[in-house]
Amino acid sequence: MGHSLLYMMGFFLLSTVICGNAKDYSTDLQEDDDLSPPKPTVTLQPSWTQIYSGETVTVRCEIQGGEGAQWTYEWRPAKLNTPPTSNEYRINSTTESDSGGYSCRGRRDSSWTKWSDITSLKVTAPPKPTVTLQPSWTQIYSGVIYSGETVTVRCEIQGGEGAQWTYEWRRGRVNIRQSSNEYRIIRVTESDGGGYSCRGRRSSSWTKWSDITTLRVTVPSKPTVTLQPSWTQIYSGETVTVRCEIQGGEGAQWTYEWRPAKLNTPPTSSEFKIITVTESDGGGYICRGTKTYLLTEWSDTITLTVSSKPKAELRADNTAVPVGGSVTLTCSVNPSSSSSSSSSSSGWKYYWYRDGKSYEPVTNGQISVSEGGLYSCRGGRGEPVYYTEDSDSVRIDTTVSNRPVVTLYPNWSEIYRGETITVRCEIHGGDTEWDYEWETNSMIKAPNQTEYRIRSASSSNSGNYRCKGRMKSSQHKTTEWSDSVTLTVSDNKPRPVLTVSPSWLSPGASVTLNCQVEHPSAGWSFYWYKAVPDLSEKSSSYELLPDGSGTAQDSYIIHGQTHTAGYVCRAGRGDPEYHTDHSQPEFVWSADVHSAASLTVSPDRVQHFTSDSVSLTCEGNFTEWRVRKFSEDGRLSDCRRMTGSTCNINTSESDTGVYWCESGSGEFSSAVNITVQNDGNGPILVSPVHPVTEGASVSLSCSLKTQKYFPMCFLSQ
Ligand SMILES: *[C@@H]1O[C@H](CO)[C@@H](O)[C@H](O)[C@H]1NC(C)=O
Ligand SMILES: *[C@@H]1O[C@H](CO)[C@@H](O)[C@H](O)[C@H]1NC(C)=O
Ligand SMILES: *[C@@H]1O[C@H](CO)[C@@H](O)[C@H](O)[C@H]1NC(C)=O
Ligand SMILES: *[C@@H]1O[C@H](CO)[C@@H](O)[C@H](O)[C@H]1NC(C)=O
Ligand SMILES: *[C@@H]1O[C@H](CO)[C@@H](O)[C@H](O)[C@H]1NC(C)=O
Ligand SMILES: *[C@@H]1O[C@H](CO)[C@@H](O)[C@H](O)[C@H]1NC(C)=O
């Protein structure tokens, strides 16, 4: 400021020099020292420090004490010099170029006063007011206020403080009768919305118009977002229209604002169509309407849930149409929206296909069919129709009246592990060619052929088997299911039981062997063996009896048997033949001592006390022996304490049994009964172990354990 003033003064001096008024200038210098004339003062009217361009300013030269005299005036700058007789100069409309320092002097007669001090005038461009809204939060929410609230619109002029302003207001292009700097609106209505601007005036000049500040009035009508179609569950690929509806706002030219903002184009339409919905379109939508200076509230959120494309599901209450009947097919789309029962809420129609071709122009979710075929369905809804994925196909067969029969070959009710068996499906009647299907609950499934041959059965083949036939010429025609047939495969190997009759040989009599398997009727044939002692293996080997191979009869008769012998049997059946285990050996005993091998007992008596030492000795022209016992409970055992050909026994009750010798070369001795006393204190009958030949004498006696022998108790003869 000071700098520009100095600059201007320099300019005046310089211009004086250039203009060439050298005389006045030298005179000035001389008269500056003269104190007698007064010094004028330059005043400004109005006296504001800040004058806006366009305002009127009067510059006046006042000479103290000089009133009444006839003065002429000279000004610096010189532009004010005309007319020089007036002491004031009026600048009707200031411009910024009027800024500067002003001074004057007066002349009376021929003498000049001194120059006044410089008074500076500052002209600036008029300020631009600002319209603000109170309360201030309306400012933050971009001028949004609810109708009924109170708002104050204020005009602020920066740097205009202290001056006496009058104001002019406009809302849009309409002037408002208001001249103060505040415009207070109590209970705002829709008509108060608009763009407010103001300007100020002091003295005669106006400021510029302020920028427009918009006041929006929200009316409490709340729009609603709707989805078209209104299904809450939408699948990706469907078309959805999101619509903003303003109740009571029909007919008005609303524009719409959406959140998320992606729907904002075009904003003049109340609805937005999402042609091919994707899962990313799912989410909440809200809208509001705007209309000039009106704004509705935000609507409530509507949530659009977009799921991936569903697949229809087809269910059949039966996969075979009974003779003369029908089957009900049900098509559904899951997850079905809200109530799956009413198709109207989910909007689905159903489209049916049979063998790949459109079937029946019905759109029900349930149909009844009596034709066989490969059925599928899908759902569709909307406009254009949006289709679900096709359901899996369901095969529906029609039933013909033939009924198959399952047979087992061989037809044994119980089968053993390793046997060979064939399960066969037989359809009688007609010369139709069939394909076969099996249904079984066994662990191993039957192949879909007319027969299932099990070469080596196991319990995994056990189960119920049923079959049906499908016509080779018409694949959707089948027979009914056959009755189920149960196949039971036992993992146990059967062991037959052999009985021998009689046990003790009587001269000339025949011996009958009988072999029993658990299920006697099931096609068994029998094998008959003689036991041959095998001392090295501590067992026996078996030698097939003459004509003893695979007899159909379960008994075998041996004629003229004279010696002690052991027998074994087993059974077999099927092709290839399956064999049971060998039976336990059974014996027929001879009491005849005149054989190649014999057994002597010491002491030579049938009955013995407990804890007696009894020795049994094998005799005959053989080197190796074993003594065998067949106890009362049917167990076969070998003597454990052999010394050479003698078996020593310290008797106990369990030693009661039949004893005989077997030689290493397969000879059987005669057999003897040995009884061990079971009543500790009673007497025993002392009688020889071997039968007595007719006519020979025999001595019998009774004995007590304490006393070696005592006279014969009685003799029965
Ligand atoms: C200034 O205004 C007055 C009165 O309105 C007028 O008489 C005068 O001519 C004006 N002066 C100029 C320089 O326009
Ligand atoms: C097995 O078949 C035969 C004829 O092949 C028949 O006589 C017999 O009754 C059948 N047995 C069973 C148990 O089906
Ligand atoms: C037999 O056919 C039926 C029906 O086609 C099928 O479900 C089954 O798996 C088939 N069984 C075998 C062992 O191929
Ligand atoms: C052995 O006892 C049985 C019956 O107890 C009898 O039938 C048989 O003849 C007896 N044998 C001898 C050799 O005594
Ligand atoms: C036989 O056994 C009994 C009882 O165990 C015993 O007291 C007795 O000494 C035994 N006799 C012989 C000869 O081993
Ligand atoms: C015993 O057998 C041998 C050889 O087999 C024979 O030489 C001998 O004569 C036989 N002895 C008797 C008593 O049979």
| The three-state (H, E, C) secondary structure of 4-52, written as one string | HHHHHHHHHHHHHHHHCCHHHHHHHHHHCCCCCCCCCEEEEECCCCCEE
Q: Which of 9-23, 306-320, 531-545 has the weakest average pLDDT?
A: 9-23
| pLDDT reported for residue 177 | 86
Q: What is the model's pLDDT at position 502? A: 93
447 CA distance to ligand 5 middle (Å): 70
Three-class SS state of 2? helix
The C-alpha atoms of residue 704 and residue 687 are separated, in whole angstroms, by 14
- Summarize pLDDT for 403-460 with one digit per residue, the tens: 899 999 998 878 999 999 999 999 987 778 999 999 999 999 999 999 999 999 999 9
Let me know: does 235 contact 386? Beta carbons within 8 Å.
yes
Tokens of 466: 């049923």
What is the model's pLDDT at position 705?
Answer: 77
Contact 636, 585 (CB under 8 A): yes
Q: Is 273 in the pocket of ligand 1 (CB under 6 A)?
A: no
Ligand lying closest to the C-alpha of residue 405: 2
The best mutation among 90, 95, 98 to test binding of ligand 1, ranked by most ligand atoms within 8 Å of the C-beta, falls on 90
User: Model confidence at 183, in pLDDT bands (50, 70, 90)?
Assistant: confident
Indicate whether residue 208 lines ligand 1 (CB < 6 A): no
Model pLDDT, residue 582: 94
Torsion of CA 535, 539, 545, 550, to 10 degrees: -160
Q: Mean per-residue pLDDT for 157-186?
A: 86
pLDDT over threshold 90, residue 313:
yes
Quick: pLDDT tens for 576-608.
899 999 999 999 999 887 778 889 999 999 999
Atom 14 of ligand 4, nearest CA residue: 673
Q: Which CATH superfamily is domain 224-307 in?
A: Immunoglobulins (2.60.40.10)
- Counting from 1 in the atom list of ligand 3, the atom nearest the Cα of 438 is 1
CB 224 within 8 A of CB 288: no
pLDDT at 141: 57
Q: Report the chain's C-alpha Rg in angstroms.
A: 68
Residue nearest to atom 12 of ligand 2 (CA): 411
Residue 24 pLDDT exceeds 60: no
- Average confidence (pLDDT) over 557-579: 92
pLDDT band at 345 (very low <50, low <70, confident <90, very high): low
Q: What is the DSSP letter of 113?
A: -
Q: 30 burial class (0-12, 13-18, 19+ CB within 10 angstroms)?
A: exposed
CA–CA separation, 351 and 103 (whole Å): 104
Smallest CA separation from ligand 4 atom 9, residue: 504
Residue 33: pLDDT band by 50, 70, 90 thresholds? very low
Is 241 a pocket residue for ligand 5 (Cβ < 6 Å)? no
Choice among 227-231, 252-256, 623-627 with the minimum mean pLDDT: 252-256
Q: Which helix (H) or strand (E) holds 241?
A: strand 240-245
Please give the CATH number for the structural domain made up of 130-218. Answer: 2.60.40.10
H or E segment and range at residue 630: strand 625-631
Q: Which long-range contacts (CB under 8 A, 24 or more apart) does 541-548 make?
A: 542/568, 542/582
Strands 525-534 and 166-171, how do they pair? unpaired
Whether 652 is in the pocket of ligand 5, judged by its Cβ within 6 Å, is no
Predicted confidence (pLDDT) at residue 708 exceeds the cutoff of 70: no
| Atom 9 of ligand 5, nearest CA residue | 611
Q: What average pLDDT does range 145-154 have in this prediction?
A: 83
554 vs 254, residue with greater confidence:
554
Task: Provide mean pLDDT across the span 666-682.
Answer: 86
Pairing mode, strands 123-124 and 51-52: parallel
Domain 497-589 annotated CATH 2.60.40.10: yes
Which tokens hold the place of 574? 């099927």
Region 13-18: what's the mean pLDDT?
34
Distance CA 325, CA 356 (A): 23
Tell me the percentage of the chain whose pLDDT exceeds 70: 87
- Bigger pLDDT: 570 or 2? 570
For the stretch 630-658, what's the b/e string if a residue is b when 16 or more beta carbons lie within 10 angstroms of its beta carbon? beeeeebeebeeeeebbbbbebeeebbbb
Ligand 4 pocket, 115 CB below 6 A?
A: no
The pair of three-digit structure tokens given for residue 234, joined into one six-digit string: 């939408």
Verify whether ligand 4 is closer than 6 Å to residue 591 (CB atom): yes
Is 673 a pocket residue for ligand 4 (Cβ < 6 Å)?
A: yes
Please tell me whether the peptide bond between 384 and the residue prior to it is cis, using omega within 30 degrees of 0.
yes
Domain 400-490 carries which CATH code? 2.60.40.10
Region 103-116: mean pLDDT is 86
Strands (E), 57-150: 57-62, 72-76, 88-91, 100-108, 111-112, 119-121, 123-124, 130-134, 144-146
Q: What is the pLDDT of residues 629-649, one digit of tens each?
A: 999 898 999 998 888 899 999
Superfamily of domain 313-398 in CATH is Immunoglobulins (2.60.40.10)
As a whole number, mean pLDDT of residues 330-337 equals 75
What separation in Å is there between the alpha carbon of 691 and the centre of ligand 5?
30
CA distance 312 to 349: 11
**Mean pLDDT of the region 497-507:** 91
Atom 3 of ligand 3: nearest residue by CA position? 437
Q: How far is the CA of 321 from the centre of ligand 3 (A)?
A: 19
Structural tokens at position 420? 């060979």
User: Best of 405, 411, 421, 422 to mutate for ligand 2, by most ligand atoms within 8 A of CB?
Assistant: 411
Distance between Cα 611 and ligand 5 center (Å): 6
Q: How many A from CA of 674 to the centre of ligand 4?
A: 9
Whether 688 lines ligand 4, by a CB cut-off of 6 Å, is: no
* Residue 190 pLDDT class (50, 70, 90 cuts): confident
CB distance 613 to ligand 5 below 6 Å? yes
Dist CA 53 CA 318 (whole Å): 100
Q: Point out the ligand nearest to the CA of residue 590.
A: 4
Ligand 1 in contact with 90 (CB < 6 A)? Answer: yes
Q: How would residue 71 be classed by pLDDT, with cut points 50, 70 and 90?
A: confident
Q: Where are the beta strands (DSSP E) in 382-516?
A: 386-387, 394-400, 405-409, 414-416, 421-426, 434-440, 451-454, 463-471, 477-479, 485-490, 497-501, 511-516
Q: Which run of H or of E encompasses 174? A: strand 174-176
Separation of CA 317 and ligand 3 centre (Å): 20
Ligand 1 centre and the CA of 581: distance in Å? Answer: 149
As a dihedral over the C-alpha atoms of residue 31, residue 33, residue 37, residue 43, rounded to 10 degrees, the angle is: 90
Q: Which of 474-478, 577-581, 621-625 has the highest mean pLDDT?
A: 577-581
Residue nearest to atom 13 of ligand 1 (CA): 92
What ligand has the least distance to the C-alpha of 607? 4
- Interval between CA 624 and ligand 5 midpoint (Å): 27
CATH number 2.60.40.10 is the correct assignment for the domain at 593-716: yes
pLDDT for 63 equals 86
Residue 551 DSSP class: B
Residue ID of nearest Cα to ligand 1 atom 8: 92
pLDDT score for 589:
94
Residues of the chain within CATH 2.60.40.10 domain(s) are: 41-124, 130-218, 224-307, 313-398, 400-490, 497-589, 593-716
CA 565 to chain centre: 76
Q: What is the pLDDT of residue 2?
A: 38
At residue 619, does pLDDT exceed 50? yes
How high is the pLDDT of residue 14?
34
Q: Are 228 and 277 in contact (CB under 8 A)?
A: no
Q: Return the closest-CA partner of residue 269 out of 295, 247, 244, 248.
A: 244
CATH of domain 41-124: 2.60.40.10
CA 438 remoteness from chain centre:
35
Closest CA to 574 of 520, 612, 523: 523
Q: Give the model's pLDDT for residue 46.
A: 84
Identify the band that residue 37 occupies on the pLDDT scale cut at 50, 70 and 90.
low
Task: Return the closest-CA partner of residue 106 out of 192, 37, 168, 52.
Answer: 37
CA of 455 to the centre of ligand 2 (A): 21
Residues touching ligand 3 (Cβ under 6 Å) are 437, 445, 447-448
- 31 φ, ψ (degrees, to nearest 5): -70, -20
Under 8 Å between Cβ of 206 and 238 = no
Distance 435 CA to ligand 3 centre (A): 11
Within 8 A by CB and 6+ apart from 557, the residues are: 510, 511, 512, 513
Calculate mean pLDDT across residues 306-321. Answer: 90
CA of 621 to the centre of ligand 6 (A): 6
Cα of 55 vs its chain's centroid, Å: 82
Ligand 3 site-directed mutation target among 425, 435, 437, 478, most atoms within 8 Å of CB: 437
Q: Whose CA is nearest to atom 14 of ligand 1?
A: 92
> What do you get for the CA distance between the two ends of the chain, in Å?
175
Atom of ligand 5 nearest to the CA of 652: 2
Nearest C-alpha neighbor of 155 from the set 195, 117, 173, 182 = 182
Query: 716 pLDDT exceeds 80?
Result: no
The confidence score (pLDDT) of residue 441 equals 95
Confidence band of 22 (pLDDT split at 50, 70, 90) = very low
**pLDDT in the model for residue 390:** 94
Q: What is the mean pLDDT of the chain?
A: 83
Question: Ligand 2 atom 1: the closest Cα is on which residue?
Answer: 411
pLDDT, mean of residues 520-548: 85
Question: Is the CB of 411 inside a 6 Å radius of any atom of ligand 2?
Answer: yes
Closest ligand to Cα 414: 2
Q: Is residue 504 within 6 Å of ligand 4 at its C-beta?
A: yes
Percent of the chain at pLDDT exceeding 90: 37
Q: From CA 537, how far away is CA 530, in angstroms rounded?
A: 17
Residue nearest to atom 6 of ligand 2 (CA): 411
Residue 157, Cβ neighbours under 10 Å: how many?
A: 21
